Amino acid sequence: MMKKCNADFQCTTNSERLINIKPFENKIWLSSPTMHGEEIKYVQEAYETNWMSTIGENINEVERIVKEKTGCKYAVALSTGTAALHLAVKLAGVKPGEKVFCSDLTFDATVNPVVYEMGDPVFIDTERDTWNMDPVALERAFDLYPDVKVVVVAHLYGTPGKIDEIKKICKTHHALILEDAAESFGATYKGKQTGTFGQFSCISYNGNKIITGSCGGMLLTDDLEAANKVRKWSTQSREKAPWYQHEELGYNYRMSNVIAGVVRGQLPYLEEHIAQKKAIYMRYKEGFKDIPVSMNPYDSENSEPNFWLSCILINECAMSKQVRGETEALYVRENGKSCPTEILEKLMEYNIEGRPIWKPMHMQPLYRMNGFITQEGNGRARTNAYAEGSSMDVGMDIFNRGVCLPSDNKITPEQQDVIITIIRSCFQ
């Protein structure tokens, strides 16, 4: 449901308070790496033992620790989360021209690996309860494309989607789930870690993730044969021969022992990072409780996010006029209202990084000709009519009204109070 506006919200003191606020000397980042010191110990160990490439104790330990944390049987450390997703698509046997159902409101790294294997992504609209793949739209998609055998599901901003419903639908239609848990490492659904719900699942250690190696990723599976295939494919598919023998296409996708050293030093702090992210989310929620916005939602009965990014969604009736082109945006200042463009520009004035919500895949120039399914069926008619003023699909609406807020582990309550004051001032 759309949030109703609270006509009595008060921002009367914020403009006065802003007079005394100066831009931060050091930029407040959206989500930067939080290092603890142990990382350099393991990197130094790789250096001193001369295990600098794709074999070494750091890799072995990272795979072991992640298996224990997630409860999966096998973990394969790779160069990026995208590499992990690519090999997951390859394991799923996606063929050229074959349609694959994919989350729509996500980063394009969720979808691009399907195209690497020359598959044809079909995007499934978003539901409002968690901002993830809509099971109703997914069921409708199977009505339209009953032969689809692979579904790529992402957990947006660290929040688990409606996993039980999606799994039930996929089981009915004999479809594999590829789980993109790149943003949700450490999040749980009904007490079980994300990254364990797909036949093949992926996590990321990119520089802004909750655990980082500067880069890196991992493929998780309970299938030993699949894990062994990924180990082989990720090291250029070398055969067991005394020379370099290659019988199938391979990739340079294995994680280095140096990067694994950073990840190894980070992993003991996963729960601490999640607690810090949750505290940030709750401070924002309290700070915005009397202005016309809501936080990115989650199912508190069944899931515990990792709270990777805190976001707000402006109530529909509190949106000022905003127009976005392909690379630029314009807005009209309106009393008592605001929009993502105004908020992001105001934050930038104070040396604070924020970002728009991911632009849905069906709106991307690269994928505008691909299928897009909403609860009503083919969503392209609504998308194409939007320019003429018709209603938006869910993903487009969240993109239009949403903002990703600074969610860095190192942000202080005082810095967060300033951010809250700035955003509240936009609604005067």
Please report, for the chain, the start and end positions of each structural domain, with discontinuous segments joined by +. Answer: 14-33+270-425, 38-268
| 250-303 pLDDT, tens digit each | 999 999 999 999 999 999 999 999 999 999 999 999 999 999 999 999 999 999
Q: What is the pLDDT of residue 12?
A: 46
Alpha carbon distance 258, 260 (integer Å): 5
Is 294 in contact with 311 (CB distance < 8 Å)? Answer: no
Those residues whose C-beta lies under 8 Å from the C-beta of residue 334, and which sit 6 or more positions away, are 320, 321
Alpha carbon distance 217, 208 (integer Å): 13
Give me the DSSP letters along 85-100.
HHHHHHHTT--TT-EE
Per-residue pLDDT for 388 more than 50?
Answer: no
Q: What is the pLDDT of residue 368?
A: 95
Per-residue pLDDT for 4 more than 50?
Answer: no
Per-residue pLDDT for 404 more than 60?
Answer: yes
Q: Find the catalytic residue in 99, 209, 229, 337.
A: 209
Alpha carbon distance 281, 29 (integer Å): 15
**Nearest to 106, CA basis, from 198, 178, 211, 164:** 178
Structure tokens at 250: 């391979």
The residue-averaged pLDDT of 294-318 equals: 98
| 337-352 pLDDT, tens digit each | 999 999 999 999 999 9
Hunting for tokens 């009915």 — which residue is that? Answer: 172
CATH topology of domain 14-33+270-425: Aspartate Aminotransferase, domain 1 (3.90.1150)
Question: DSSP assignment, residue 391?
Answer: P
- From the CB of residue 376, how many other CB atoms can be counted at a distance below 10 Å? 13
Alpha carbon distance 227, 232 (integer Å): 9
Q: What is the pLDDT of residue 389?
A: 39
Alpha carbon distance 413, 400 (integer Å): 28
Is 179 in contact with 200 (CB distance < 8 Å)? Answer: yes
Q: What is the pLDDT of residue 383?
A: 52
The residue-averaged pLDDT of 51-66 equals: 97
Q: Which residue has the higher pLDDT, 9 or 78?
A: 78
Helix (H/G/I), strand (E/B), else coil: 303? strand
Work out whether the CA dihedral 166, 171, 172, 174 comes out positive or negative.
positive
CATH number of 38-268: 3.40.640.10
Hunting for tokens 């099971």 — which residue is that? Answer: 135
In which band, very low, low, confident or very high, does the pLDDT at 96 lie, cut at 50, 70 and 90? very high
Catalytic residue flag (residue 190) = no
- Report pTM: 0.94
| 163-212 pLDDT, tens digit each | 999 999 999 999 999 999 999 999 999 999 999 999 999 999 999 999 99
In which band, very low, low, confident or very high, does the pLDDT at 385 lie, cut at 50, 70 and 90? very low
